[in-house]
Structure 1
Amino acid sequence: MGKHTYRTLWLSDIHLGNRDCKVDYLLDFLSRYQADTLILVGDIVDLWSLKSRFHWPESHTRAVRLLLERADQGCRIIYIPGNHDEAIRKFIHFNLGHVELAHKYIHTSANGKRILALHGDEFDSMVCHSKLTSLLGDAGYDFLLFLNRWLNSYRRFTRQPYWSLASYLKSKVEKANLAIARFRHAAVTMAKHKDVDAIVCGHIHHPEITEQDGILYLNDGDWIENCTFLAEHHDGVIELIRWTEQAECLDSSTLFQVNPQITPLFDTEKQKEKVKQKEKVA
């Protein structure tokens, strides 16, 4: 695969520092893309996991280095901390050079649509019945990742492509599907409240593109189970892409595609400046 060029990328739930991070696929992706803007939608570094069991191989350092290199090369990077890297939220108002920190971020698409990005842990109280339910869910999820890790070790040994057992089993559990639906509804409600056209979240490790109540709901997935990200092309098409042995488009939306009969939004430097002024932290 050669270089892939995008207008905007959204990635989240990389969980560097966690042994289940699919860092090899991530490194391959980071070495092959170019983008004008990269929005990191939380849980990039798994501080929770590092606190309980330190795991930081050299490959995780290389991933951080590649991200910083993209910033040095002119890629605009916005970092929205999640719950697993929430300690970074304390530094939101500090200048970190080429990486901008924000609680939420509104991006303007190629044809002027407003897309709100936030991690999604804000919706936990609407998804989980209680703290006990949440803790039991975490324990069960850890076990799923354990099974996923060993299954894919065997698949690599037998030269089979990556396959997420964890995602497959979650899709068969009624309560998991109910929690995902509640999360989606909470995100769409937030988008309406913020008066935006779309919302991007991570957090629940369930990649998806869905239009609901006139709002485009986008979840960029994760790099623990699914190895997925969202990409906006320069014509405004947004795709959900899985990056494992071979890049694969899982879904796409032409909702924000630029109409070729309309003058492009970025036709002049003056128009560029106007759009840039509208892009702000929500």
Structure 2
Amino acid sequence: MNPYSVRTLWISDLHLGNKDCKAGFLLDFLNKHDAETIILVGDIVDFYSMKSSHHWPESHSQVLSLLMQRAHNGTRLIYIPGNHDAVIRQYLKFNFGHVEVRASHIHETLTGKKIIAVHGDEFDSAVCHKRLTAIAGDVGYDLLLFLNRWWSRARQRMGFPYWSLASYIKSKVASANVAIQRFENAAIQYARRKGAHAIVCGHIHHPDMKVLGDELYLNDGDWIENCTALLEQHDGTIQLIRWTERCELLAESYAFASLQPDAVSEKKDEAA
């Protein structure tokens, strides 16, 4: 089967090197999607986890190999380091075998709208760091991932599809929701200062797509809990999808010409 073609693809928070990385779903997604431009929005390799454990299965190498192969075959590949792969930031503006390393990147959509991409750890101080760590990396989050790992294995043995227990629990924590709202507001303010029509972030592992004021907030989620990505189709519309055993459209597709949503129902992607 030929890969499903899109104009632009944003993914982040792969956390390669972490035992909770859903590399199997990620490889299936990448093999079934081809893009003119792929923008990696941080935390691609989890150097934090690799300090304390030596977890690097073959599937994680296959992800990197596939991305490099796409770059050598003509796909524009842009890498914006995050806080878990911050060591890469010392190589900003370098070109590593067709991989462009940037602190941020402004992408122009088919309709001429500007989308700025940053990882999102830039907004930690504005959000209130103590609340953000409750959803992005402390002991409590590690416990959530542990529970999520065993929950997923149990569901798989029973023949049920993947479902994120960690995301469900976080959605019920009031302080986590406050932190997410503060993060979104900080991101939108940043986009306004940069003169962008939209912003793409990762970092908080909470995929979303919404208009806030006059700008579009986009979070491409992660491949630890949610297995999500943002796509720009060849007609200029933006989609947020989840890719596990099936593909789900998580929000209305946005036509960037007017920043107004085009109502669509949840459906399977053509590549599923």
Same fold? TM cut 0.5: yes
- Offset of 1:72 from its aligned partner? 1.3
Within 5 Å, give how 1:1-282 maps onto structure 2: 3-130=3-130, 138-257=138-257
Q: Percent identity?
A: 59
- Tell me how far apart the structure 2 counterparts of residues 113 and 64 of structure 1 sit (CA, whole Å): 30
What SS does the aligned partner of 1:107 have?
Answer: strand
- Tell me how far apart the structure 2 counterparts of residues 87 and 47 of structure 1 sit (CA, whole Å): 8
- Tell me how far apart the structure 2 counterparts of residues 135 and 104 of structure 1 sit (CA, whole Å): 23
- Offset of 1:130 from its aligned partner? 4.2
- Tell me how far apart the structure 2 counterparts of residues 87 and 197 of structure 1 sit (CA, whole Å): 30
Deviates more, 1:39-48 or 1:86-95: 86-95
Q: Which amino acid aligns with 2:40?
A: L
- Offset of 1:128 from its aligned partner? 2.5
Deviates more, 1:161-170 or 1:120-129: 120-129
The structure number with the bigger radius of gyration is 1
- Name segments (4+ residues, structure 1) moved above 6 Å: none
- Tell me how far apart the structure 2 counterparts of residues 172 and 163 of structure 1 sit (CA, whole Å): 16
The C-alpha deviation readout for 1:138-192, integer Å capped at 9, x for no partner, is 1111000000000000111111000000000000110000000000000000001
Q: Which amino acid aligns with 1:241?
A: I
- Offset of 1:12 from its aligned partner? 0.1
Gaps of 5+ in 1: 259-282
- Tell me how far apart the structure 2 counterparts of residues 144 and 256 of structure 1 sit (CA, whole Å): 36
- Offset of 1:97 from its aligned partner? 2.2
What SS does the aligned partner of 1:254 have?
Answer: strand
- Offset of 1:253 from its aligned partner? 3.4
Distance 1:154 1:135, change over 3 A: closer
2:106/2:114 contact within 8 Å kept: yes
- Tell me how far apart the structure 2 counterparts of residues 131 and 107 of structure 1 sit (CA, whole Å): 31
- Offset of 1:132 from its aligned partner? 11
1:152/1:163 contact within 8 Å kept: yes
Distance 1:209 1:148, change over 3 A: same
What SS does the aligned partner of 2:71 have?
Answer: helix
- Tell me how far apart the structure 1 counterparts of residues 131 and 174 of structure 2 sit (CA, whole Å): 19
